[in-house]
């Protein structure tokens, strides 16, 4: 049966308009994104098949182009659309951060950093540069690779902070293993950065380690 033949209150689009997006299941939201199904399967049926095949919504959203496009009912156009939607979501979080002092929105900071780093298959070290009022100037990826093998140069970080006129910094990096527990290397590089930046009166407010389902704060752990 086509979705057009369903009772109006059960159609994903009509349900969203009547009750809001939060009322829809993952399959219903994905069906709206897909727009159409395939022969013998409605958009909702196809969405359920895809969620089952990928093992959930997150693995589907984070799938690489080759795997995504290989699925029935998907393809390059849908992959491009999805990447655009994901980037819009990240920019929306960033714009919300820019309106407020970062320290007044710790949950938002966590969500934003997780959206930038959690899905990466490699380790990436990044920074939120803040002004003296702790408002976001910009987010930048600084170094790529494990902290043991890819050098994180405090001098380069300090130079960039001075270029941007930053008064404070929040660091973040991901652990592709999924385990967010800070390592000895994480602690050492944080101490070096804090010492180097302190020479220029630039405060290190926090260092977040982004894992698969957890984001660990150095400040909350008393590690700064």
Domain segments of the chain as ranges: 3-74, 101-221
| Lowest mean pLDDT, pick from 6-20, 33-47, 80-94 | 6-20
Give the torsion sign (CA, 49, 57, 71, 8).
Answer: positive
Domain 101-221 is in which class?
alpha beta
Residue range 101-148, pLDDT digits in tens = 566 667 888 888 988 888 888 889 999 999 988 888 889 999 887 654
In this prediction, residue 149 carries a pLDDT of 46
In this prediction, residue 214 carries a pLDDT of 87
CA dist 224 and 220 (Å) reads 9
CA dist 76 and 204 (Å) reads 42
Stretch 24-53: mean pLDDT, rounded? 88
Which pTM was predicted? 0.68
């Amino acid at each position: 049966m086509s979705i057009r033949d369903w009772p109006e209150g059960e159609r994903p689009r009509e349900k969203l308009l009547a009750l809001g997006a939060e009322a829809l299941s993952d399959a219903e939201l994905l069906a709206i994104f897909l727009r159409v199904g395939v022969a013998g399967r409605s958009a909702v049926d196809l969405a359920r098949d895809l969620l089952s095949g990928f093992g959930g919504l997150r693995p589907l959203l984070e799938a690489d182009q080759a795997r995504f496009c290989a699925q029935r009912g998907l393809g390059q156009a849908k992959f491009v659309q999805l990447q655009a939607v994901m980037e819009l979501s990240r920019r929306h979080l960033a714009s919300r951060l820019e309106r407020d002092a970062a320290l007044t929105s710790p949950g938002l900071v966590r969500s934003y950093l997780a959206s930038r780093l959690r899905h990466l298959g490699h380790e990436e070290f990044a920074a939120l540069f803040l002004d003296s009022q702790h408002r976001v100037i910009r987010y930048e990826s600084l170094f790529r690779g494990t902290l043991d093998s890819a050098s994180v140069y405090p001098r380069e970080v300090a130079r960039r902070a001075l270029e941007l006129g930053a008064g404070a910094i929040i660091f973040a990096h991901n652990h592709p293993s999924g385990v967010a527990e800070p390592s000895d290397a994480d602690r050492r590089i944080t101490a070096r950065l804090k010492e180097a930046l302190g020479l220029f009166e630039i405060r290190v407010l926090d260092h977040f380690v982004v894992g698969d389902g957890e984001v660990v704060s150095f400040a909350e752990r008393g590690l700064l």
